[in-house]
Amino acid sequence: MPTSPTVRPFTPATVWLARGRRPGGAAEDVLRRSLQQRKDSQDIDDFLELPDDGAAPSERVFQARWRVDGTVTVRARLSLAPGPDDGQEWMLVAEAEQPWREAWPSPAGLFWPEEPDTAWVQDAATDLSLREINRLPQDDKETRRLLRNAVRGGWHIHVVVHEAMTTDDRGRVPLARWLPPGLRHRVVEHRAAPQQHRGLNWALRDLGVQVPRGGAAVLPGNPAPEGYDAEDFSVRAVFLDGSEPADLVEAVTRFAALPRPLPDGAEDALTALREDWHLLTLQEELERQRGLVAMYAEALEAMTKSRDLYREAAERAHEALAAYQESAGIAPAGPQPPGPPAASPLQQLTRTFERLKRVKSEP
């Protein structure tokens, strides 16, 4: 089983992640229209397109906010960046106030339009569909290369299904149709033809996975989630007759619930969602302004205290200087009888400054 060379933070239970590619341009216009329609239909509360700040002029950022289960607020951030072949890659991070439930609507489905415009439903790593069946290449080496690249990065859940026999229309129903809403844009389904079984398992050998004949397997991803065991996520038989593949749906759902490392690039996107959020409600804006007022008041108090300490230090310095000048001016002109040594004016000044240092260092 592949392991990650570096330790990554785990994906928080409140977070939903997805990444994809949309061929062609004008994705910004598509998102604006779709989000406005979602707002008009009250599927989302509000959305905002962030102005270009010059830091990444080629990147566009959209924020949206909605509620699930009536009271749970979800905040989401989608970024667009140029991709290969004049396409655009998108990255979506959403976070709820409670642990995420797969029964909630897919954030990707709230940002992007639904059918017939589904050009955006593509895996960025492989250009494969996130909602349709993807046939494996006929060449075993190409299959091996495809699957190794597919699981790299850890963004999506990859499922391989082997057809025990050639299917008809009933057997060509995508797995996404049976998945809960929160998983429909996070799963890539690969299909192997009946004669590809031996080559498929050869291609999967490096991943430590074997697909039963006529069955399926959920691939571990790279890095693999904590607690993954190939046997636990292997399904012995998948009946491709148009009925719900309940065992496979259950395996995918269990896999999605495993603690998973953050995918490549997701940590920065999650930080941006949390720390650079602009789509505030009136109450949130009021609380933000109150926080700023409190912060400024603390800073002013600290400055005032520091000013008073410096003024006290200056006054004691003047006193020490006056004492030094006075001691130097009344020093006796002639010899004096021996007695206990007295501190010199310089020593008196030094001691005074030492007292000042202690006063300044006191809280």
pLDDT at 320: 82
Is the pLDDT at 110 greater than 80? The verdict is yes
pLDDT at 281: 78
pLDDT the model gives residue 2: 46
Comparing 297 with 322, which gets the higher pLDDT? 322
Cβ atoms 68, 102 nearer than 8 A = no
Task: State the average pLDDT over residues 333-351.
Answer: 56
Question: What separation, in Å, do the N-terminal and C-terminal C-alpha atoms of the chain show?
Answer: 56
Residue 172: phi, psi to the nearest 5?
-100, 25
Full 3-state SS string of the chain:
CCCCCCCCCECCCCEEEEEEEECCCCHHHHHHHHHHHHHHCCCCCEEEECCCCCCCCCCEEEEEEEEECCCEEEEEEEEEEECHHHCEEEEEEEEECCCCCCCCCCHHHHHCCCCCCCCCCECCCCCCECCCEEECCCCHHHHHHHHHHHHECCCCEEEEEECCCCCCHHHHCCHHHHCCHHHCCCEEEEEECHHHHHHHHHHCHHHCCCCCCCCEEECCCECCCCCCCHHHHEECCCCCCCCCCHHHHHHHHHHHCCCCECCCCHHHHHHHHHHCCCCCCHHHHHHHHHHHHHHHHHHHHHHHHHHHHHHHHHHHHHHHHHHHHHHHHCCCCCCCCCCCCCCCHHHHHHHHHHHHHHHHHCC
Indicate yes or no: pTM above 0.95: no
Where on the phi/psi map is residue 324: left (φ > 0), alpha (ψ -120 to 50), or beta? alpha
Q: Cα–Cα distance between 354 and 343 in angstroms, integer?
A: 15
Across all residues in the chain, what is the average pLDDT?
85
- The values of phi and psi at residue 18, to 5°, are -160, 160
Query: Span 338-359, mean pLDDT?
Result: 60
Q: What is the mean pLDDT of residues 102-111?
A: 95
78 pLDDT above the threshold of 80? yes
Q: Is the pLDDT of residue 268 over 80?
A: yes
The pLDDT of 107-121, averaged and rounded, is 85
Give residue 49's pLDDT band: very low, low, confident or very high (50, 70, 90): very high
Closest CA to 44 of 93, 121, 111, 92: 111
Q: What is the mean pLDDT of residues 291-300?
A: 71
Is the pLDDT reported for residue 343 higher than 60? no
Query: What integer pLDDT is reported at residue 55 of this predicted model?
Result: 59
Task: Quote the CA–CA distance of 221 and 159 in Å, as a whole number.
Answer: 10
Residue 292 pLDDT grade (very low, low, confident, very high; cuts 50, 70, 90) = low
Instruction: Say how many C-beta atoms besides its own lie within 10 A of residue 32's C-beta.
Output: 13
- The residue with greater pLDDT, 1 or 287, is 287
Number of Cα atoms under 13 Å in the Cβ half of residue 296: 6
pLDDT tens digits, one per residue of 145-156: 999 998 887 899
Distance CA 10, CA 17 (A): 12
How far CA 281 is from CA of 65, 71, 277, 289, in Å, comes to: 10, 14, 11, 12
Percentage, residues of the chain above pLDDT 90: 56
